[in-house]
Amino acid sequence: MNETLQTIFQRRSVRAYSDRPVQDTDVELIVRAGRYAPSGMNTQGWHFTVLRNQDKLKSLGERVAGVGQTFFYNAPVLILVSYRIGNRFAEDDCACAMMNMMLAATSLGLGSVWCNRINGNSQFDTSLQDYGVPAGYQVHGCLALGYASSPLPADRENKSDTVTYL
Amino acid sequence: MNETLQTIFQRRSVRAYSDRPVQDTDVELIVRAGRYAPSGMNTQGWHFTVLRNQDKLKSLGERVAGVGQTFFYNAPVLILVSYRIGNRFAEDDCACAMMNMMLAATSLGLGSVWCNRINGNSQFDTSLQDYGVPAGYQVHGCLALGYASSPLPADRENKSDTVTYL
């Protein structure tokens, strides 16, 4: 089985991170992977905000989840994927970019998880300019990123009866 | 650069297919890749319908795009990804599954493209039981799949100014 398929089958959502720092070059490759996702009519109407400033991260976590709380599992890096409001393809485009980034992270030995506390769930997703999200953009997905603090499950249970061949 | 990243950067949308048949084992791996996408709360509320029956393909193409027409570029395989209506995570889940399948296809030397003529764009997306979509499910994405009839572009232009580091 080729490495890409292995990566796809080995990816797991990671919800506990170690303190090991993430290399700039890896972050850049992961963001580049997101930007290589397909987009409807090739609009590429997305924006990637890479949050690594620890004060900003703490502040955003508390703003979304409450004082002393966080929604991104204390990961050392958070990538916010937002889209220009009004782009009708954008939600799928952003989801594809998120998937590419998750696989790129896995291929580099990093863990990640799509965090669901901003996109569509709060009053914050269009007012995060203090955190690097451009005005006029709505956050669709947040990717927590870092090294997993413990080994990942070797396999996962997939539901049966989800495929029809015709 | 590892193979997964190479696959991500080499993937292109393919809109012209050769007659070369797609192996069953490759289709099965590609669908399996879709099923290994993450899903909100791990609901896996999706269904994959693999359409290879040429009469069904022709009929579906004409039903969506008109007599003598098709919306899937005459690809030899079409995979319909649908979700149980009412699942609030489902659109992102299906988009992630689509992305996994596109990358799996690329890694196996196959081409693919997300076709946008059913999901949300027509009256058909919840009434395709004759084409293997379960009742109560809504089609979200259609993946045309096959061998490209000509070489793909070596690179693609990505928009600049789509990343902020903080």
Residue B73 belongs to a domain with what CATH number? 3.40.109.10
Per-residue pLDDT of A71-92, as tens digits, reads 999 999 999 999 998 887 899 9
Would you call A5 and B33 a contact, using CB atoms and an 8 Å cutoff? yes
> Quick check: A141 and B116 CB within 8 A?
no
In a domain, B109, yes or no: yes
Q: How far is A100 from chain B (nearest CA, A)?
A: 7
Residue A77: inside a domain: yes
Candidates B159, B71, B92, B121; CA nearest to A102 is B92
Neighbouring residues of B154: CB distance < 8 A, sequence distance ≥ 6: none
Integer distance in angstroms from the first to the last C-alpha of chain A? 26
pTM for this predicted structure:
0.96
Provide the chain B residues 7-46 that lie in CB contact (below 8 A) with chain A: 7-9, 11, 13, 29, 31-33, 35-38, 40, 44, 46
Confidence of residue B161 (pLDDT cuts 50, 70, 90): confident
- Chain A residue with minimum CA distance to B12: A38
Residue B155 lies in a domain: no
- Please give the residue that has the higher pLDDT: either B120 or A53: A53
Q: Do A96 and B100 make contact, defined as CB atoms within 8 angstroms?
A: no
Whether chain B has a CB inside 8 Å of the CB on A84: the answer is no
How far apart are the CA of A60 and the nearest CA of chain B, in angstroms? 13
Q: Measured between alpha carbons, how far is residue B143 from residues A81, B78, B105, B119 in Å?
A: 24, 6, 10, 11
Determine the distance in angstroms separating the CA of B2 from the nearest CA of chain A, rounded to an integer: 7
Would the CB atoms of B158 and A35 count as touching at under 8 Å?
yes
Which of 119-158 (B) contact A at CB < 8 A? Answer: 131-134, 141, 156, 158
| Cβ neighbours of A160 in B, within 8 Å | none
User: What is the value of ipTM here, to two decimals?
Assistant: 0.95
Query: Does the residue B160 lie in any domain?
Result: no
For B7, the closest of A4, A9, A38 (CB atoms) is A4
Question: pLDDT tens-digit profile of B4-32?
Answer: 999 999 999 999 999 999 999 999 999 99
- Does residue B94 belong to any structural domain of this protein? yes
| Total structural domains within chain B | 1
Evaluate whether residue B151 is within a structural domain. no
- Under the banding of pLDDT at 50, 70 and 90, the label for residue A106 is very high
Q: How far is A159 from chain B (nearest CA, A)?
A: 7
Average pLDDT over residues A112-119: 88
Domain limits for position A117: 3-146
Q: What is the pLDDT of residue B81?
A: 96
Q: What is the mean pLDDT of chain B?
A: 93
pLDDT at A160 over 70: yes
In a domain, B159, yes or no: no
**Nearest-neighbour CA in chain B from A66: distance (Å):** 22
Q: What is the pLDDT of residues B30-62, one digit of tens each?
A: 999 999 999 999 999 999 999 999 999 999 999
Q: How far apart are CA A145 and CA A3, in angstroms?
A: 21
A8 belongs to a structural domain? yes
Three-state secondary structure string covering chain A: CCHHHHHHHHCCECCCECCCCCCHHHHHHHHHHHHCCCCHHHCCCEEEEEECCHHHHHHHHHHHHCCCCCCCCCCCEEEEEEEECCCCCHHHHHHHHHHHHHHHHHHCCCEEEEECCCCCCCCCCCCCHHHCCCCCEEEEEEEEEECECCCCCCCCCCCCCCEEEC
Q: Do A33 and B5 lie within an 8 Å CB cutoff?
A: yes
